Amino acid sequence: MKTLVLCYGNEFIKEDALAKEIADEVKLPNVEFKKCDSVEDIFNYKDFENIYILDVVKNAKEVMLIDNIDKLNAPELFSLHDFDLAFFLKLMKSIGKIKKINIIGIPMKGDKKRIISEIQKLIPK
């Protein structure tokens, strides 16, 4: 089974960079980590059986698995600048482009080794 983890964030903003930093450090058999710059990147990977998204979650204290995108808080939009990953995923689900996706939410900061260990536990081998 091929598993893909799409890692989102902005490496130029310290509070939003951890998922992309971790992408270079997590090693799991049959799991590929890809750094993404655009929410639409998810459509480039249709040949994978399992897709996860790795991203920081504001105010998160622990690593968490979100398996229902309806639980995500999408902000109220005032401009295209406000268009974020949660809103995009909900939109794609509502039009039938995404059926199931798992999101691994990580804190904005913390012990990187512990966070990596928790991520490894959440992804099936």
Domains with residue ranges and CATH for the chain: 3-70+100-122 (3.40.50.1450)
d(CA 54, CA 41): 13
DSSP class of 58: T
Among the listed residues 57, 52, 63, 75, the one whose alpha carbon sits nearest the alpha carbon of residue 15: 57
CB 7 within 8 A of CB 23: yes
pLDDT in tens, 41-69: 877 876 666 789 898 888 888 998 988 76
d(CA 31, CA 96): 26
CB 107 within 8 A of CB 56: yes
For the chain, what is the total number of helices (H) and then of strands (E)? 3, 5
Instruction: Look up the pTM and report it.
Output: 0.80
pLDDT in tens, 55-108: 888 888 899 898 876 666 655 433 333 346 777 777 777 777 766 778 898 998
